[in-house]
């Protein structure tokens, strides 16, 4: 079983920055592909970014050049640095862990970007 706890959401003006963090329990963090997803009101949950156990990253086109995903296997954490935020980035952001034996989600953290 893996538990994920997100933190760092909040309200920010357009052009500002936020850093989301996700703390994972369990001893298999280092082999998990970690990801951040988001869900805006009335929309489906979408992938934002992923990072493999080896550190390879992948981003949705809309956040490329603005967001950076990183992980610290020693601390069992994954982070999402979000710069140049736009109102359309407003959503609940979810941390995700993909392991050979299951997929796990955090409870989500709200990010609101005002124009």
DSSP structure class, residue 63: G
pLDDT score of 81:
98
pLDDT in tens, 100-113: 989 999 999 999 99
**What integer is the mean pLDDT of 79-105?**
96
User: Residue 75's CB: how many other CB atoms inside 10 A?
Assistant: 11
Q: 16-48: per-residue pLDDT in tens? A: 999 999 999 977 888 899 999 999 999 999 999
Helix (H) or strand (E) holding 69: strand 67-72
Q: According to the model, what pLDDT value does residue 112 have? A: 98
Q: How far is CA 49 from CA 8, 76, 103, 115, in A?
A: 16, 17, 16, 24
What value does the mean pLDDT take over residues 38-63? 97
- Do the beta carbons of residue 75 and residue 29 sit within 8 Å? no
CB 95 within 8 A of CB 105: yes
CB 9 within 8 A of CB 25: no
């Amino acid at each position: 079983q893996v538990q994920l706890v997100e933190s760092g959401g909040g309200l920010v003006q357009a052009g500002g920055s936020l850093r989301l963090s996700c703390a994972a329990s369990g001893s298999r963090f280092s082999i998990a592909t970690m990801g951040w997803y988001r869900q805006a009101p009335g929309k489906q949950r979408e992938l934002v970014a992923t990072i493999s156990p080896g550190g390879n990253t992948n981003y949705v086109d809309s956040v490329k050049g603005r967001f950076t995903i990183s992980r610290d296997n020693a601390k069992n954490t994954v982070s999402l640095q979000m710069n140049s935020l736009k109102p359309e980035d407003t959503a609940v952001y979810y941390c995700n862990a993909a392991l050979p034996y299951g997929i796990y989600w955090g409870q989500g953290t709200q990010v609101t970007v005002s124009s």
